[in-house]
Chain A
Amino acid sequence: MREALAGMTVRGRAFLAAGVTAIVCAVILDQATLARVGVLLLALTLLTVAALARNRYRLTLVRTVAPQLVSAGQSARVTLALANDGLAPNGVLLLEDQVPYVLGTRPRFVLEGISQGWRHSVSYQVRSDVRGRFEIGPMSVRVSDPFGLVELGRTFRTTVPLTVTPRTVPLPHIPLGGAWTGSGDNRPRAFATGSAEDVTVREYRQGDDLRRVHWRSSAKLGELMVRREEQPWQSRATLFLDNRGVAHRGQGIASSLEAAVSAAASIAVHLTHRGFAVRLVTATGEESGSAWHVRGADLNTGPLLESLAVVQPVSQPRLETGWLGEGAHGGLTVAVFGAVETTDLPVLRRMQHHAGSAVAVAVDVNAWIGAPAADGTTRILAQQGWRAAALRPRDRLEAVWQELAHTSTQSSRVQSSRQEGVAT
């Protein structure tokens, strides 16, 4: 009752005040008509409050979002299954799903006259042109009375996440010179260094040596397990994305960072489909959850794209280099750079040094704010031993990627001469 009283609208409060005033005036002036008006207003408001305070409905909501991971521009469908487990509400329920405005208009529904046991489901579409991770919900419920005198607010609590990944384009197959790296049977690796081999046992197969049976695991699982000593060769690639704020220009969806993220996403998908185990590294270091794992290509792209979906510009001025010291020498490194400062040169050199093959897409960030095209970054990268190509606002990524194939000879020549230089 107190809540319903507190939930009175301006109209309700005005009616209440007018009713009391009218009754007082009626008593003073002895006007029966005024008393009637006062009693009408007062009784209407109080009865409405009482009716709403007596509400015994109990709404349940089951919310489904499919798919939970969509590419920018694709739509996802949210399904709401509502049921009333309590009694029919005395009033109108106004439902509004609190969808981020990026995903479209907030769907609103009116529930009138839902009886006990009523259930219904409704679905609506959401789509976003902006990558990111969005929470859909919670659903808010406004309980209103037929005369608009009281309005109570309720809200469901839970939300559903929806991840919108960057747009990707299929890239042509170009020679990348990535190395097969990994550890074999004869080269056991420390598990802590991020080996693909976290599981050390596998099921017993016909022909396995009995000496390799891992008795502990067998006892635990109830079937014979053997130690897994052979390790598959793995084709590894490191995808580096420079997401420093200082390295990019522009704001929001039109910024050069978005182009870089989109390029990185396309490259990630491309590499994964070519059989690489790809890990994502940003200016803040290695992205958790995107370390090298042995998974199918489709399984591998998901976490990568999810990570890329939430990449935000960071304010740190220097690139994090901790990921370089993990003994992951060799392998393919594909980097998407923004503007490169002279302070970054040592890092670039180290990255190139660590990589078996270093390929870079240099986003010509100044072109995003209208500056004429310049290939300074590409030249710097080439001097550091990278195979680099510039990406400008009007360039298609496929073409730039193809361009990398042409620059490969020169770059590898530079690289080889540098390596010779280092060797001598």
Chain B
Amino acid sequence: MSRSRGHLSTNILVALVAAGTTWLAMSAWRDLTVTPGSFLNPLLLLAAVVAGTGTAARWWRWPGPLVVLFQLAVTGVLTSLLLTGSPLPIGGAWSELTATISDAMDTAQGFAAPVPAEAPPVDPLLILGGLACLLLVDLLACTLHRAPLAGLPLLAVFTIPVGMVGDAVSWWIFAVTAVGFLFLLFLQESDQVSRWGRPLGIDQETGDPIAFGGGASTVRGTAGLVGGAATALAVLLPVLIPATGVHLFDFGPGGGGGDDIRVDNPVADLVRDLRQGEDIPLIRVTTNDPDPSYLRILTLTRFNDAEWSPGNREVPSDHLADGQMPPPQGVSADVSRKEYPYDVSVLPDFDSRWLPTQPPISRVVADGNWRYDDKTMDFIAGDDDLSAASLNYSMTAVDLDLTSERLADAGPPAGKVSDIFTDLPDDLPPIVHDLAVQVTQDATTPYEKAVALQNWFRDDGGFTYSLDQAPSGNGSDALVEFLSDGPGGRTGYCEQFASAMGVMARELGIPARLGIGFLNPDPDGPNSWVYSSRDMHAWPELYFDGAGWVRFEPTPSGRAEDVPGYTVPGSGAEEGPSDSPSASASTSGPVQPSRPRDSESAAAAADDEASAGPGIAWLPVLGGLGGLLVVAGGLLLPRTLRSRRRERRLSSGFAEPIWAELHDTAVDLGVPWPRSRSPRATRAVLVEHFGAPVGPQTAERPTHGPQLAPEAVSALDRLVHTLELDRYSRSGATFDPVRLRADGEACVAALAGGAPRSARRRAAWWPRTVLSSRRRRTSPGTLEAKFGGVVDHVT
């Protein structure tokens, strides 16, 4: 009966490989704790025990369930011994065990990986989980002989570090596990094979050798080669596949794994920086822009009950800050604009993962993996360790010439921007809506409503600018507290003003977002400005169709002296919010006289317009054209090659190339060409497929026969005769190139004329003789030789 249970050595090998592979896979859990040895060593012992008990029980031919029970019992006792010191988890040991496990679960929930050594160890959890995997793999691979299924528990082992640490399993652990798994497969398949055939040995009746004993070395070689190559590919290929880095979905801030981008919310910093006493210079810009105010760090797009947050960002790896930027969203092309170059030098103290820009911008060049989100044009660090600190970069800011008339005429914004800019939590207190309606009851257009809101915050609403008495944060509760007219209400600073206006604009159906950045830099020499921590500011940006995202300024003049010119109805083309030095208490710089921006030359504006509009669309167009060219080239290439080959042969002036051309034409058209026949015999076959030359009235499937193309038949006869003279006569043939060419063309035309239209089309566009290699695969004999065949003789 040894046949059905195989050799003992094979059984031991399979069990050991299964347990070893599982244990090696579990070494991917090393990063979960600081002391990986404390769970890997017990698991190694358990793996050995699982393999040993399993092998023994199967060797004794116990039924499957009994094998599993036996393994469970032995390893259970051993685990209990390891975890509690008592072989049986009864009484005190049981409570100790449960306490250990619950401690481990608490640790697992409370600490991020790797779990520090001081915390109660998570090892019991890992040991129990690892034991389950070991038992499962042993059950599948050894007891049930289903090695492929054992891959699932192994995969589960791999997913745990990915889920917890966020790191991929290191390549060598993966490679070792893959090799082990493939070895397991190979062993099981060899076992199957040995069960299938007769065992090596001697026929008992006759003493004859009864089986073919070939060395299995080549099979092992094939297995090793295929398995090794597959493992190597599996290790190397995913590194090379760029697609694995693409974010198709983003699961909120900080979601996802791998090289995800951490999205920080610097609003907290804003408060801290504004409140803290010291005024630290953060950014220095050099520009000829007369008013470099409102340097934006980021926008907050999502408002929920707790706060305004940056929301989800799509930052594809090709959206790099390395040159031309997309045109500002929603700005119609007829808005005149000027461009100002900026050279930004971030000082070491400004440690930000967001790159400050002066929106809207048309060009940014910054070193490093800075990616932009084309909805908001925020620039985010693509790498975890990338920071804006000490960075020097340049950009071109666009100054749009917006007028209040344009804003007043703006169409409804519905559908122009993403819904996230109008989303509000369902349980927003009704006071917000009521107030928004009440304030804007006289306004009709969105622009008028926005202006009404701004005026309400700045002048009519009785708000007070104060850093100290403001409600903390910008969530719903803070909002209600800020809006309510009671004691302590209607007091706040830019964060509250901006967020309240943003929320109320959204209540009125105007897409809104919050910009966080700097206001009112201090001049630092000619054309040079310095932004410091006290200049941090927040403002709402509202979307108007045709004007894009438009900045408003609800913060009262205690902080922001002026409102943008277009927010004053009837202000005309003059934006002119002359920037006065910040009135905030901390600002101590000299007063910078305002300079209207339109003093810049009109030529620059014209240039900007010319370069800004269509410039961006070139890339996809070029790409599309290139793709089209490639496709067209691919389609035209076989045809071109074929016609060049035909031309070369026809004009060669010899009979053999023309004969070869005739052969290729026949093959392309699907006309049978007899193999290994004389030209004369071939001619007899070919003339049957001759037809009248192709004309406009040629049928879909034209009739063919020698009588339809008598001149082609005589041309073929001449060709055959020349060929025979050339091949067989002693003196050889004398060639008349012109005649030969004419005959060849006549034959080719006649062949085409006799072929169905589909065959002609295929021959023209998809000629088989060009596309397939020269190898002919016609007879079944070659087919057998190609794929491996069997030939038999019987005596």
Residues of A in contact with B (beta carbons under 8 Å apart): 3-4, 11, 14-15, 26-33, 35-37, 39-40, 43-44, 47-48, 51, 53, 55-64, 77, 82, 85-86, 88-92, 94-95, 107-115, 118, 120, 122-125, 137-139, 141, 143-148, 154-160
Hey, which chain A residues are within 8 Å of B791, CB to CB?
58-61, 85, 156
Q: B171 — nearest CB in chain A belongs to which residue?
A: A36
Taking the nearest CB of chain A, how far is it from the CB of B222, in angstroms? 5
Given contacts A56-B785, A124-B208, A146-B223, 13 further A-B contacts (CB under 8 A): A31-B162, A56-B786, A59-B791, A61-B790, A61-B793, A91-B222, A95-B197, A113-B214, A114-B212, A143-B788, A146-B186, A146-B226, A154-B788
A-B contact pairs, 5 of them (CB 8 A): A44-B226, A59-B791, A88-B218, A146-B222, A147-B226
Q: B154 — nearest CB in chain A belongs to which residue?
A: A37
The answer to whether B162 touches A33, judged by C-beta atoms less than 8 angstroms apart, is: yes
Q: A51-B222, A53-B787 are in contact. Are A36 and B197 (CB under 8 A)?
A: no
The answer to whether A33 touches B158, judged by C-beta atoms less than 8 angstroms apart, is: yes
Q: Does B241 interact with chain A (Cβ within 8 Å)?
A: yes
The answer to whether A40 touches B234, judged by C-beta atoms less than 8 angstroms apart, is: yes
Q: Please, how many angstroms separate the alpha-carbon atoms of A27 and B211 in the complex? A: 50
Of residues A37, A138, A146, A159, which shows the largest number of chain B Cβ atoms within 10 Å of its Cβ? A146
Q: A40-B234, A112-B214, A147-B186 are in contact. Are A141 and B790 (CB under 8 A)?
A: yes
The answer to whether A35 touches B241, judged by C-beta atoms less than 8 angstroms apart, is: yes
Q: Does B129 interact with chain A (Cβ within 8 Å)?
A: no
User: Residue-by-residue, is B158-196 near A (CB-CB < 8 Å gives 1, otherwise 0)?
Assistant: 110010000011010010001000100110111011101
Hey, which chain A residues are within 8 Å of B218, CB to CB?
88-90, 112-113, 115
Contact of A39 among B162, B234, B246 (CB under 8 A): B234
Q: A3 — nearest CB in chain B belongs to which residue?
A: B787
Q: A37-B234, A122-B210, A138-B792 are in contact. Are A30 and B247 (CB under 8 A)?
A: yes
The answer to whether A63 touches B795, judged by C-beta atoms less than 8 angstroms apart, is: yes
Q: A109-B198, A112-B218 are in contact. Are A32 and B168 (CB under 8 A)?
A: yes
The answer to whether A30 touches B258, judged by C-beta atoms less than 8 angstroms apart, is: yes
Of residues B174, B178, B229, B791, which shows the largest number of chain A Cβ atoms within 10 Å of its Cβ? B791
Q: Please, how many angstroms separate the alpha-carbon atoms of A362 and B606 in the complex? A: 125
Q: A27-B246, A62-B795, A86-B785 are in contact. Are A37 and B185 (CB under 8 A)?
A: no
User: Residue-by-residue, is B328-357 near A (CB-CB < 8 Å gives 1, otherwise 0)?
Assistant: 000000000000000000000000000000
Hey, which chain A residues are within 8 Å of B223, CB to CB?
146-147
Taking the nearest CB of chain A, how far is it from the CB of B159, in angstroms? 8
The answer to whether B788 touches A44, judged by C-beta atoms less than 8 angstroms apart, is: no
Of residues A29, A32, A56, which shows the largest number of chain B Cβ atoms within 10 Å of its Cβ? A32
Q: A56 — nearest CB in chain B belongs to which residue?
A: B788
Q: A26-B244, A30-B256, A113-B219 are in contact. Are A62 and B193 (CB under 8 A)?
A: no
The answer to whether A113 touches B216, judged by C-beta atoms less than 8 angstroms apart, is: yes
The answer to whether A113 touches B217, judged by C-beta atoms less than 8 angstroms apart, is: yes
The answer to whether B219 touches A92, judged by C-beta atoms less than 8 angstroms apart, is: yes
Q: Does B585 interact with chain A (Cβ within 8 Å)?
A: no
* 7 residue pairs, one from A and one from B, having the closest CB atoms: A55-B788, A110-B197, A146-B223, A40-B234, A32-B168, A35-B238, A43-B230
Q: Does B148 interact with chain A (Cβ within 8 Å)?
A: yes
Q: A35-B241, A113-B217 are in contact. Are A62 and B793 (CB under 8 A)?
A: yes
Q: Does B415 interact with chain A (Cβ within 8 Å)?
A: no
Interface of A is mostly: mixed
The answer to whether A111 touches B212, judged by C-beta atoms less than 8 angstroms apart, is: yes
User: Residue-by-residue, is B642-668 near A (CB-CB < 8 Å gives 1, otherwise 0)?
Assistant: 000000000000000000000000000
Q: Please, how many angstroms separate the alpha-carbon atoms of A79 and B673 in the complex? A: 44
Q: Please, how many angstroms separate the alpha-carbon atoms of A60 and B235 in the complex? A: 42
Q: Does B102 interact with chain A (Cβ within 8 Å)?
A: no
The answer to whether A139 touches B210, judged by C-beta atoms less than 8 angstroms apart, is: no
Q: Please, how many angstroms separate the alpha-carbon atoms of A180 and B793 in the complex? A: 47
Residues of B in contact with A (beta carbons under 8 Å apart): 148, 155, 158-159, 162, 168-169, 171, 174, 178, 182, 185-186, 188-190, 192-194, 196-198, 203, 205-206, 208-212, 214-220, 222-223, 225-227, 229-231, 233-235, 237-239, 241, 243-249, 256-258, 260, 784-795
Taking the nearest CB of chain A, how far is it from the CB of B24, in angstroms? 14
Taking the nearest CB of chain A, how far is it from the CB of B225, in angstroms? 8
Q: Please, how many angstroms separate the alpha-carbon atoms of A137 and B790 in the complex? A: 14
Of residues B217, B218, B260, B790, which shows the largest number of chain A Cβ atoms within 10 Å of its Cβ? B790
The answer to whether B197 touches A31, judged by C-beta atoms less than 8 angstroms apart, is: no
Q: A30-B256, A112-B216, A123-B208 are in contact. Are A36 and B230 (CB under 8 A)?
A: no
The answer to whether B197 touches A63, judged by C-beta atoms less than 8 angstroms apart, is: no
Q: A147-B189, A155-B790 are in contact. Are A44 and B198 (CB under 8 A)?
A: no
Q: Please, how many angstroms separate the alpha-carbon atoms of A63 and B186 in the complex? A: 33
Contact of A37 among B155, B196, B794, B795 (CB under 8 A): B155
Q: Please, how many angstroms separate the alpha-carbon atoms of A155 and B220 in the complex? A: 25
Taking the nearest CB of chain A, how far is it from the CB of B74, in angstroms? 31
The answer to whether B193 touches A110, judged by C-beta atoms less than 8 angstroms apart, is: yes
The answer to whether B215 touches A89, judged by C-beta atoms less than 8 angstroms apart, is: no
Q: A27-B244, A30-B257, A33-B169 are in contact. Are A114 and B792 (CB under 8 A)?
A: no
Hey, which chain A residues are within 8 Å of B171, CB to CB?
36
Q: A148 — nearest CB in chain B belongs to which residue?
A: B189
Q: A1 — nearest CB in chain B belongs to which residue?
A: B787
The answer to whether B178 touches A122, judged by C-beta atoms less than 8 angstroms apart, is: no
Taking the nearest CB of chain A, how far is it from the CB of B218, in angstroms? 4
Of residues A91, A118, A141, which shows the largest number of chain B Cβ atoms within 10 Å of its Cβ? A91
Taking the nearest CB of chain A, how far is it from the CB of B288, in angstroms? 44
Q: Please, how many angstroms separate the alpha-carbon atoms of A145 and B148 in the complex? A: 15
Q: Please, how many angstroms separate the alpha-carbon atoms of A62 and B795 in the complex? A: 7
Hey, which chain B residues are within 8 Å of A156, CB to CB?
790-792
Q: A85 — nearest CB in chain B belongs to which residue?
A: B791
The answer to whether B231 touches A37, judged by C-beta atoms less than 8 angstroms apart, is: no
Taking the nearest CB of chain B, how far is it from the CB of A194, in angstroms? 34
Q: A58 — nearest CB in chain B belongs to which residue?
A: B789
Hey, which chain B residues are within 8 Å of A82, CB to CB?
212
The answer to whether A30 touches B211, judged by C-beta atoms less than 8 angstroms apart, is: no
Taking the nearest CB of chain A, how far is it from the CB of B60, in angstroms? 28
Q: Please, how many angstroms separate the alpha-carbon atoms of A285 and B196 in the complex? A: 48
Q: A57-B788, A108-B197 are in contact. Are A40 and B226 (CB under 8 A)?
A: no
The answer to whether B230 touches A44, judged by C-beta atoms less than 8 angstroms apart, is: yes
Taking the nearest CB of chain A, how far is it from the CB of B194, in angstroms? 7
Q: Please, how many angstroms separate the alpha-carbon atoms of A113 and B185 in the complex? A: 19
Of residues A3, A35, A60, which shows the largest number of chain B Cβ atoms within 10 Å of its Cβ? A35
The answer to whether B168 touches A60, judged by C-beta atoms less than 8 angstroms apart, is: no
The answer to whether B196 touches A108, judged by C-beta atoms less than 8 angstroms apart, is: yes
Q: A60-B793, A110-B197, A147-B186 are in contact. Are A32 and B212 (CB under 8 A)?
A: no
The answer to whether A32 touches B238, judged by C-beta atoms less than 8 angstroms apart, is: yes
The answer to whether B784 touches A58, judged by C-beta atoms less than 8 angstroms apart, is: yes
The answer to whether A44 touches B246, judged by C-beta atoms less than 8 angstroms apart, is: no
The answer to whether B788 touches A47, judged by C-beta atoms less than 8 angstroms apart, is: no
Hey, which chain B residues are within 8 Å of A31, CB to CB?
162, 168, 244, 257-258
Contact of A36 among B185, B188, B235 (CB under 8 A): B235
Q: B231 — nearest CB in chain A belongs to which residue?
A: A40
Q: Please, how many angstroms separate the alpha-carbon atoms of A145 and B192 in the complex? A: 12
Taking the nearest CB of chain B, how far is it from the CB of A4, in angstroms? 8
The answer to whether B226 touches A60, judged by C-beta atoms less than 8 angstroms apart, is: no
Q: Please, how many angstroms separate the alpha-carbon atoms of A155 and B790 in the complex? A: 7
Q: Please, how many angstroms separate the alpha-carbon atoms of A231 and B568 in the complex? A: 142
Q: Please, how many angstroms separate the alpha-carbon atoms of A26 and B234 in the complex? A: 13
Taking the nearest CB of chain B, how far is it from the CB of A128, in angstroms? 16
Taking the nearest CB of chain A, how far is it from the CB of B372, in angstroms? 20
Taking the nearest CB of chain B, how far is it from the CB of A116, in angstroms? 11
Hey, which chain B residues are within 8 Å of A138, CB to CB?
792
Hey, which chain B residues are within 8 Å of A28, CB to CB?
248-249
Contact of B792 among A63, A64, A90 (CB under 8 A): A63
Q: B260 — nearest CB in chain A belongs to which residue?
A: A30
Q: Please, how many angstroms separate the alpha-carbon atoms of A47 and B231 in the complex? A: 11
Of residues B193, B235, B794, which shows the largest number of chain A Cβ atoms within 10 Å of its Cβ? B794
The answer to whether A94 touches B193, judged by C-beta atoms less than 8 angstroms apart, is: yes
The answer to whether B233 touches A58, judged by C-beta atoms less than 8 angstroms apart, is: no
Q: A113-B219, A143-B788 are in contact. Are A107 and B214 (CB under 8 A)?
A: no
